[in-house]
Structure 1
Amino acid sequence: MPLKVSEGEFFGRKYAIHEVKCTTEDIQKAWNNTFSELSNRVYQIDGRPAFERYSEEIISNPICKIYVPIK
């Protein structure tokens, strides 16, 4: 299944944002595949740390976002 990725900014820095279902299995798969998938696309990954963000509405909308820094 292809990555659901958008581009956005966080504190003025550019990121590729991968939305993923908020389950342990899906998050682990995402971390295992996101960097290689983004590299195969037009994204140039930056050396800054990547991180996860969770919504305050995690119960009603169980989506987590993985932010990968890009140039």
Structure 2
Amino acid sequence: MSISLETISRTRMAYVRQIGPYGPANKQAMETLKNWAHVQHLLTEASVLFGIPQDDPATTPPESCRYDACIVISDDFVFSGNDPVKEGELAGGDYLVYRIAHTAEAVMHAWTSIPGLVRDHGHAIADGPVMERYKGELLLRHQCELCIPVRKDANLM
């Protein structure tokens, strides 16, 4: 496990949205995205993918939860018009990046640890979704990252 503070820049992305309860359907959305990205020659060891749950399942009915499977694309990438993906943008900002093992157990533990980790690092959770980030070199080591939007906590200063 490693934790760092990172400013993520504005990023153009292609994404597939899954609407419904979080779970196995999220994996299907990611597979649809990967298949499209492979055909477009975008899926390489240097690719960066995100899994972004857009809603809090504690306050959003399961049938309304949105999950976006995303891949970073260049500003000059041109969509064909028949693509099964949509174009989107990550606004960017400051994130606490928590590197973890890419296992169901480690991810579940990490999600429950977020409030304490953020507080222990002198920050508060900012508006925006917590994102799962997947990079080729990390996946080869069976790791992924949780990117937690943060701001300095004035109460801790």
Whichever residue aligns with residue 4 of structure 1, its letter is S
Bigger RCO of structures 1 and 2 (CA < 8 A, at least 6 apart) = 1
Whether 2:12 is the aligned partner of 1:7: answer: no
Whichever residue aligns with residue 42 of structure 1, its letter is G
Whichever residue aligns with residue 61 of structure 1, its letter is R
User: Aligned pairs, how many?
Assistant: 68
CA distance in 2, matches of 1:54, 1:32: 20
TM-score, normalised on structure 2? Answer: 0.40
Identify which of 106, 130, 136 aligns with 1:56.
136
Q: Output one character per residue of 1:15-64: Cα deviation in whole Å (capped at 9) or x when no partner.
A: 00001011110011001112233124311210111110112131x21111
TM-score, normalised on structure 1? Answer: 0.81
SS where residue 44 of structure 1 aligns? strand
CA distance in 2, matches of 1:41, 1:17: 11
CA-based RMSD of the aligned residues comes to 1.6
Q: Looking at CA atoms only, which structure, 1 or 2, has the larger radius of gyration?
A: 2
Residue ranges of structure 2 left out of the alignment (5+ in a row) = 10-91, 152-157
Residue ranges of structure 1 left out of the alignment (5+ in a row) = none
